Structure 1
């Protein structure tokens, strides 16, 4: 059957569900890629001025819950109906984005992000289930391809627009996410059609308990558990794209050359996303999704000839090289090349993870195995939060390293303990006291404290995942 013939077979529920997914990813990634910078940025820019440790705790805990809770929220959606739970999820999202915008204390922002992630956990199981329910053997392959394309289109548009809105104010980023979720409320109310559900007389509590029993049943397979533990390493390294990369660019990288190069080719685009002759960290990070949109079909066609484990190992190895470039240089162009290499590795490995889980699952337990495949992602988010917190700060945070230099020189800043003394104030006054420009001080810290060394940690974790996968394939999968 031809591509056009397959496309014609999809009904309104399929297209509505995919459009909802696009706007949800638009809202989520537009917020999520900017969020770490919002948490740790200097308060005079409208950010919160938290430490990296606080940032890691907030993002790691919330994101882990986002991937763990669907085992419960999926049961709730099956029991109470998809449309009701979608509207509940969007109400939580919208109220959460509003709270993040108005709160400024660590505890309240922590609560607000957890609240948003609960909304995401209600949403996450529904749309993928809708795609499954609205496709069959003939249409499923292209149907899920369209679904993943929608994810990446939303994942690019959201941060791309957020990067432009940051020139105005942080609050416009949150308004954008609220507006995108508002579109989803309208789509759900007027176009979303509740799918048919099998009658289930059991209680909600019983369904939740059964879900946990099924997870426990799946985890009796020690080979599968070992594979999931190894994959925690991969997802931990991968998540540094969200947790650390934006902050690294914001603090250390001069993107003037990238702006000038883009301006020579497409002035309007450079001026839209750029400010003061440079391109901000959110726009730079959004290029990961852009590269996936452009190259996913080619990469998928290339890796389909390899076994899933081999493709995963190759993809993660490529991704580790991308991480190395992303965190080891101050060249904006080399960093963009690193993001491209990272994206190619992501495209080669991430889809194969799902394929491999489906392949090794017993025929009568495929749904159970797919349901537990989120566990390493949840665990990795928690570990990634810790790694990007105090650990990252001690090696690569510009203000932390400046504090070390200031202490070594015995410099005093009487205003440092006042509420109005910002990170930017500290940096500018330190530069004055050291008789340097701020650019010279950044270069001095880069040369003397080597914040780029963090690349060895992030890439090393990804390479460790490859090594353990090779050992797993050689000695565990090969067992008779």
Structure 2
């Protein structure tokens, strides 16, 4: 290995133009992605009168878990394609797809349309993911690679912090749709940087066909997985990623449902009012849930370098295990109680565990990689990430819907008390069921009742809909008019004779929605124990054999 005899600033100065372009494009891409993704769970299940889509958590988990899993699988194929068609063309395709996809995500409102458009965005993001890091690798050498990738990943976290912060600030004034417009604009900036500043170097491209190269890549992955050290590690890391993902999939909704952050929001309004727009929700007066998750990114920006240095004093596998212990404690605290202070403390502790574990896994894979197979083994890194996202969808979706969703638990409670309540129905569900009952095409149904108007008068729609159905002799008893989640909560509070937080406390004490923490912490503990067994039974004996040799 070549020793770097340059000073820090000389090393910085030796990094070329394309390196800095790739790093800045990474920052903007992460800005767009996390600016959308950190708020996506809130948007998907949010009440329609707040601009949300009113989906249930099962639908949310399916959309977020399945699509993100696909995103992490596709770079295996798209990296091969990029090597053959060139990085500039690959990035141009990625950016055009993402610009269109991000914008359209704010324009669609049915489950399958959101699912397919988000998949479209994921295809663009998967095209980008291997190219940006490949440009950095191509434009660094042994003397600059460590610092270069350190800067690159710092850009990831800066983008991961700025994106949600900006989205949170903008949606207060302009609603949810602005987060998708923002993402499209930021990717548009990337496209301009690419077209006007990035110069594709002349390199010899592989001569074999794309199909053959993809086949060889898959064969290579299967060959790498024959190494029991690698395959068992990747399998065990699935549990780590399932636990890790709860911070982004589940925690924002849990905070939105159960955590009263009014003490902090009142302090911000009184003492630092210029932060009100960014942190305090204009409708609820509470801290926006996504800002708690964003604390994780802020912690990484501030502490990743000293923690990485601290971790260098440990064995790699020990750092992963200890990081998993810390992260499990942190994520457990965030779900254990509905105290806002535990939410903050838990998120900060989790961030420390993440900084210890997450970067070290890739480094540990490099450590167990046979010489000459570095690319092959590193290519398997995203397999447990993809699987982790897929399984996270079930916890953030099916399990949360059953155990922790405030609306579902309130509906159960109202049923137990024999208190009659209307169905929660979105505008799209009403249009679909109403048009079906009247045997009309959806476009004719919308035109008949003026449902495309900028502001719909739903009282008038109800009257005209009933009159129209009566004249046609159609039974519409199973067709429910739009009734939002917020309207359901308000009516339930009225019928129960409680204010909102009295009702929340009653549901918390009755149904213990925090019991989901048993599953999340249990997954984390399973990951910790199995990694410890893996170290004792596989890694340590091999290390001992190597020393004897």
Instruction: Name the TM-score, length of structure 1 as normaliser.
Output: 0.98
Any idea what the Cα deviations from partners look like across 1:280-317, whole Å, max 9, x if unmatched?
01122111101110111111111110011000000010
Residue 334 of structure 2 aligns to a residue whose secondary structure is helix
Q: Residue 234 of structure 2 corresponds to which residue in structure 1?
A: 228
Any idea what the Cα deviations from partners look like across 1:241-272, whole Å, max 9, x if unmatched?
11101111111112122223444553312343
Aligned residues: 480
Q: What is the rounded CA distance, in whole Å, between the counterparts of 1:176 and 1:329 in structure 2?
A: 34
| Preserved CA contact (<8 Å) 1:149 1:293 | yes
What does 1:68-467 correspond to in 2, within 5 Å?
A: 68-168=73-173, 169-263=175-269, 266-276=272-282, 277-414=285-422, 416=424, 418-467=480-529
Change (3 A) 1:283 1:414: closer
Residue 372 of structure 1 aligns to a residue whose secondary structure is coil
Alignment equivalent of 1:473, drawn from 529, 535, 538 = 535
| Preserved CA contact (<8 Å) 1:263 1:271 | no
| Preserved CA contact (<8 Å) 2:26 2:132 | yes
Q: What is the rounded CA distance, in whole Å, between the counterparts of 2:77 and 2:405 in structure 1?
A: 38
Q: Residue 13 of structure 1 corresponds to which residue in structure 2?
A: 18
| Preserved CA contact (<8 Å) 2:172 2:277 | no
Q: What is the rounded CA distance, in whole Å, between the counterparts of 1:57 and 1:200 in structure 2?
A: 38
| Preserved CA contact (<8 Å) 2:80 2:214 | yes
| Preserved CA contact (<8 Å) 1:65 1:117 | yes
Q: Which moved more, 1:197-206 or 1:70-79?
A: 197-206
Change (3 A) 1:120 1:8: same
| Preserved CA contact (<8 Å) 1:66 1:378 | yes
Shift of 1:8: 0.5
Any idea what the Cα deviations from partners look like across 1:381-408, whole Å, max 9, x if unmatched?
1000111111121111101111111111
Q: What is the rounded CA distance, in whole Å, between the counterparts of 1:332 and 1:416 in structure 2?
A: 29
Any idea what the Cα deviations from partners look like across 1:407-456, whole Å, max 9, x if unmatched?
11111124545241111111111111111111211111111111111112
Any idea what the Cα deviations from partners look like across 1:145-178, whole Å, max 9, x if unmatched?
1011000000000000111112121111111111
Any idea what the Cα deviations from partners look like across 1:38-88, whole Å, max 9, x if unmatched?
111111111111111111111111101111010100011001011111111
Shift of 1:201: 1.7
Q: CA RMSD for the aligned pairs?
A: 1.3
| Preserved CA contact (<8 Å) 2:422 2:483 | no
Any idea what the Cα deviations from partners look like across 1:357-386, whole Å, max 9, x if unmatched?
000010111110000111000111100011
Change (3 A) 1:221 1:274: same
Change (3 A) 1:412 1:50: same
Residue 306 of structure 2 aligns to a residue whose secondary structure is helix
Q: What is the rounded CA distance, in whole Å, between the counterparts of 1:196 and 1:453 in structure 2?
A: 57
Any idea what the Cα deviations from partners look like across 1:161-198, whole Å, max 9, x if unmatched?
11111212111111111111010010000111214433
Change (3 A) 1:301 1:405: same
What does 1:30-49 correspond to in 2, within 5 Å?
A: 30-49=35-54
Q: Residue 457 of structure 2 corresponds to which residue in structure 1?
A: none
Instruction: Name the TM-score, length of structure 2 as normaliser.
Output: 0.85
Q: What is the rounded CA distance, in whole Å, between the counterparts of 2:424 and 2:207 in structure 1?
A: 63
Q: What is the rounded CA distance, in whole Å, between the counterparts of 2:48 and 2:319 in structure 1?
A: 44
Residue 167 of structure 1 aligns to a residue whose secondary structure is helix
> Gaps spanning 5+ residues in structure 2: where?
1-5, 426-479, 543-549
| Preserved CA contact (<8 Å) 1:36 1:246 | yes
Q: What is the rounded CA distance, in whole Å, between the counterparts of 1:237 and 1:419 in structure 2?
A: 39
Residue 14 of structure 2 aligns to a residue whose secondary structure is coil
Change (3 A) 1:301 1:115: same
Task: Give every structure 1 segment of 4 or more consecutive aligned residues whose post-TM-superposition deviation is greater than 4 Å.
Answer: none
